[in-house]
Amino acid sequence: MAGSGRFFEDFIVGDVIRHATPRTVTVGDVAMYQGLYGDRFVVQSSDAFARRIGYPRSPVSDLITFHVVFGKTVPDVSLNAFANLGYAAGKFLLPVYPGDTLVSTSEVIGVRPTSKGDAGVVWVRTRGVRSDGASVLDYVRWVLVRMQGGRPVQETVVPELPSVVDPSELGAACPRIETSAWDDAEAGSTRRFDDYEVGEKIDHVDGMTVEEAEHQLATRLWQNTAKVHFDGFAQKSSKIGRRLVYGGHVISLARGLSFNGLENAFHVAGINGGRHVAPIHAGDTLYAWSEILDKQPIPGRDDVGALRVRMTGVKDFSTAGFPRTGEDGKDHPNVVLDLDLWLLLPR
């Protein structure tokens, strides 16, 4: 039935799913994104700044690209998912501008039934493609999908995934920039690539309380149809009793907060890994902190360098102490997001 989605048994390794509803991104989306997340990264905010450093105009936030590409996959991939387990091998391949139309395809690259036998893990490699055929984003995610039951189950295939995206693959989505035209005062900080140190921890200080109307607006904006985000009536009879916030909403909130301390990290270039450690709900307040895991030049580029940043989202708890692991060695009970990104900064 339309709207009922695929079950675990429907995923065959090697199948490529063309997802519905190509979508033209516009300055309207940019304004909605701004209202939802309050971003202050200058390249995406100012056409004038973007032109001075070498863009034809402001590209949209990399996470707009991510949400648009991701949203399309939901009706086909995760409508019957219990959980969104992880991300890997994410690479932004081209800047996206207002007026570009994006569509997504997903290739099934792995399946593994759980031992309990009522669900299985499905790995898909999703590609976001512009209407002229150029790829703009490529990433792998894996989800725990319900089994329908009474049907044959695929043999287990577990894909090999890189633990980190190679820095040589990070420059594609960013044109060569004119660093001498980069105005630190406008950008909000004098700290550039060379000023960060591996091991450094950054408290992003601010917090943002989530409202039902906000995460619903966000999730619909990206044509993400997962029922758990919208159907408060059905959720009343779920274990959790209420609507869940789309994980991508949390990612964008954390990215917005991270401006405090990562002002010049203007481009999300890669997603090495990521986990939604715990759900968040309306009324929760999100904080975030980051740890610099690595810093690497981009081969052939002297204009930008890449910081590998582990960004931690925390709810209803101060980030001053950089919480991540609890006393029991497991995830800290207030941690909701653990995201491993490559961010580009001017040198």
**Restricting to residues 263-302, which ones interact with a copy of itself according to CB under 8 A?**
263, 283, 285
Q: How far is the CB of 28 from a copy of itself (least distance, A)?
A: 3
Distance CA 169, CA 186 (A): 29
Q: Does 185 bind a copy of itself (CB under 8 A)?
A: yes
CA pseudo-torsion sign 294, 300, 302, 304 = negative
Q: How far is the CB of 169 from a copy of itself (least distance, A)?
A: 27
Backbone angles phi, psi at 271, to 5 degrees: -120, 100
Identity of the residue, 26 or 296, whose beta carbon is nearer to a copy of itself in the bound complex: 26
Q: How far is the CB of 160 from a copy of itself (least distance, A)?
A: 29
Considering only residues 149, 232, 299, 321, which one is a binding residue for a copy of itself as defined by CB under 8 A?
Answer: 232
Q: Does 2 bind a copy of itself (CB under 8 A)?
A: yes
Distance CA 172, CA 165 (A): 13
Q: Does 330 bind a copy of itself (CB under 8 A)?
A: no
CA angle (306, 308, 312) in 5-degree steps: 140
Q: How far is the CB of 102 from a copy of itself (least distance, A)?
A: 9
Q: Which two tokens mark 3?
A: 């709207």
Candidate segments 17-25, 106-114, 145-153, 156-164, binder of a copy of itself by CB under 8 A: 17-25
DSSP-derived secondary structure for 224-236: ---GGGT-HHHHH
In sequence order, which residues have a C-beta less than 8 Å from that of residue 111 and are 6 or more positions away?
8, 11, 12, 13, 120, 121, 122, 123, 154, 155, 156, 157
Distance CA 156, CA 111 (A): 5
**Restricting to residues 193-212, which ones interact with a copy of itself according to CB under 8 A?**
202-209, 211-212
Site string for a copy of itself, 18-47 (x = CB under 8 A): x-xxxxx-xxxxxxx-xxxxxxxxx--xxx
Candidate segments 170-178, 253-261, 271-279, 303-311, binder of a copy of itself by CB under 8 A: 253-261
Q: How far is the CB of 21 from a copy of itself (least distance, A)?
A: 5
Distance CA 342, CA 62 (A): 12
Q: Does 54 bind a copy of itself (CB under 8 A)?
A: no
The stretches of 99-231 forming alpha helices (DSSP H) are 184-187, 212-221
Identity of the residue, 49 or 142, whose beta carbon is nearer to a copy of itself in the bound complex: 49
Taking Cα atoms as reference points, which of 190, 125, 345, 343 lies closest to residue 254?
343
Q: Does 221 bind a copy of itself (CB under 8 A)?
A: yes
Candidate segments 80-88, 134-142, 216-224, 324-332, binder of a copy of itself by CB under 8 A: 216-224
Q: Does 129 bind a copy of itself (CB under 8 A)?
A: no
Q: How far is the CB of 341 from a copy of itself (least distance, A)?
A: 18
Q: Which amino acid is at 48?
A: A
Q: How far is the CB of 186 from a copy of itself (least distance, A)?
A: 5
The stretches of 160-298 forming alpha helices (DSSP H) are 184-187, 212-221, 232-236, 247-257
**Restricting to residues 67-106, which ones interact with a copy of itself according to CB under 8 A?**
75, 98-99, 101, 103
Identity of the residue, 30 or 121, whose beta carbon is nearer to a copy of itself in the bound complex: 30
Radius of gyration of the chain (CA): 20
Identity of the residue, 204 or 324, whose beta carbon is nearer to a copy of itself in the bound complex: 204
Taking Cα atoms as reference points, which of 308, 236, 317, 224 lies closest to residue 277?
317
Q: Strands 201-203 and 267-276: what pairing? A: unpaired
Distance of CA 331 to the CA centre of its chain: 20
Length of the chain: 347
Identity of the residue, 244 or 271, whose beta carbon is nearer to a copy of itself in the bound complex: 244
Q: Does 223 bind a copy of itself (CB under 8 A)?
A: yes
